[in-house]
A and B are shown apart, each in its own frame.
Chain A
Amino acid sequence: MAKKSLISIQDFTKEEILHILDVAEEFEHNKSQTFLSDKVVACIFFEPSTRTRLSFETAANRLGARVIGFSDAANTSVRKGESLKDTIRMVSNYVDLIVMRHPLEGSARYASEVASVPVINAGDGANQHPTQTLLDLYTIKQTQGRLDHININMVGDLKYGRTVHSLLQAMSHFSPEFEFTAPDELKLPQEYRDFMELKGIPYKETSDLRKYLDSTDILYMTRIQQERFTDPVEYEKVKNVYSLNASMLSGVRPNMKILHPLPRLQEIAQDVDDTPYAWYFKQAENGMYVRMAIISYLLGKR
């Protein structure tokens, strides 16, 4: 099998996406299948991350693979000025698969061109985070029983939020309907509106969180990410713009589930956690099964 990497959600066809979701479901029912015991996976994180790194490392371990890597570029030869190219070349000689997070956009694509083994993009700055998108799809299917004709209300930072952009691209395979809830400063960029026009996907926009709350299947909440703002004043203006609490959920659809890529700040109050609509911790757990499926698939084992 030719080397295949996962850099951008658009690298996977609809069939490949559905295959990954099926395999992930198999892993959810049988969490430890150690058929990768002869493999070594590198998790190289040039930027801090808790959830993504731990879930990748756990996924690799549950498949029987061994894991090497680093969680911070400060203690590596990168600090001595080594180029990304040299680091990737070196690591790809040691291992069977590379999982990489890096603050520069496009770094993962570049790494996949330089590496001799498959590369999984675990986030390249504000650009792509395709494994998050696949676990979002898995969770939508898990909670709604299907992916087709789902109504999704995306809330928060729709301008810089990479998970929003990737999910929107991935859902385009499944005839969705969208509502976008964002303050004016953080509205969806033009290129994604163009994308939806092109695909004929209907969408509505508002800045009022209550407006479409009761008419949606999936409420996809996002954090306003301070690290994406160049202007601190802009961040201060919008950081507390949305706050969902349990009392706002009295009229929602019974099948409605709240997703959030986490970490969450004040945008979801703690009292929402105990409602039947909160699904974000289950969503994070799903990340592990989906990452097990992706690793297995790229190593030609599923």
Chain B
Amino acid sequence: MENNKEKQLKVSAIKNGTVLDHIPSGQVFKVIDILGLNDSPHPVTFGVNLDSKSMGNKGIIKISERFFKDDELNKIALVAPHASVNIIKDFEVVEKKLLTIPETISGIVKCINPMCVTNHEDIPTKFKTIVHGTEIRLLCSYCEKITDI
């Protein structure tokens, strides 16, 4: 109980909105970026380096009054594949979602190949995702090279 109280102080509860939990601490800012939360008109609170039983150390992001489409959320599977998504209504968790890795990824990741056309012309990147064991690899639709994440 002591722990829970402490946690609530660190990242306060929200009334309605979305809570993204179990994000690797180092990826919190990337998730904020991918979901475009920099421009959010609603309150966004986040924490990094919080204690976690399963991860040792985790990040969390709470976005008030914002509910995402699955497509939007799945984009963050690239950087936080094990993140959990909680939908909050009136301070209660009304729905939990797991992320699925999308088949294609557009615009988020840069291609690792310096000779790829996407690194020279103004073109959004496009990748096919390949799940290789626990790793996710991205096959560039243009230069056909693999980018590891």
Q: Which residues of A approach B to under 8 Å, CB–CB?
A: 8, 83-85, 102-107, 109-110, 124-128, 191
Contacts and interface: CB of A to CB of B under 8 A. Distances in A.
Given A125-B115, A126-B115, A106 B143 contact: yes
A296 B66 CA distance: 54
Contacts of A127: 143-144
Q: What 8 A-B pairs come out closest when comparing CB atoms?
A: A106-B142, A105-B143, A106-B143, A106-B117, A104-B117, A107-B117, A105-B115, A109-B142
Contacts of B123: 85, 110
20 contacts: A84-B121, A85-B121, A102-B117, A103-B115, A104-B115, A104-B116, A104-B117, A104-B121, A105-B117, A105-B143, A106-B117, A106-B143, A109-B142, A110-B117, A110-B123, A110-B142, A124-B143, A126-B115, A127-B144, A128-B144
A105 B121 contact: no
Name the interface size band of chain B: 10 to 19
Contacts of A103: 115
**Most central of A84, A106, A107, A125 by chain B CB within 10 Å:** A106
Question: DSSP class of B's interface residues: helix, strand, loop or mixed?
Answer: loop
Contact of B144 (A85, A106, A107, A110): A106
Contacts of B122: 83, 85
A1 B144 CA distance: 27
A294 B57 CA distance: 57
A191 B121 contact: no
A288 to B, nearest CB: 27
B79 interface: no
Contacts of A191: 146
A124 B143 CA distance: 8
A257 to B, nearest CB: 29
B113 interface: yes
A85 B113 CA distance: 20
Interface in B89-109: none
Contacts of A125: 115, 143
Contacts of A128: 144
B140 to A, nearest CB: 7
B21 to A, nearest CB: 35
A105 B146 contact: no
Interface in B108-128: 111, 113, 115-118, 120-123
A102 B143 CA distance: 12
Contacts of A104: 115-117, 120-121
B145 interface: yes
A110 B115 contact: no
B141 interface: yes
A278 to B, nearest CB: 32
A263 B113 CA distance: 26
Given A83-B121, A110-B123, A105 B141 contact: no
A109 B99 CA distance: 31
A106 B146 contact: no
Given A85-B122, A107-B117, A127-B144, 14 more contacts: A85-B121, A102-B117, A104-B116, A104-B117, A105-B113, A105-B143, A105-B145, A106-B111, A106-B118, A106-B142, A107-B142, A110-B121, A124-B117, A128-B144
A8 B141 CA distance: 11
Contacts of A83: 121-122
Contacts of A8: 144
Contacts of A126: 115
Contacts of B146: 191
A110 B117 CA distance: 8
Nearest to B122: A83
Contacts of B111: 106
B115 to A, nearest CB: 5
Contacts of B116: 104-106
A295 B19 CA distance: 55
B131 to A, nearest CB: 14
A186 B59 CA distance: 43
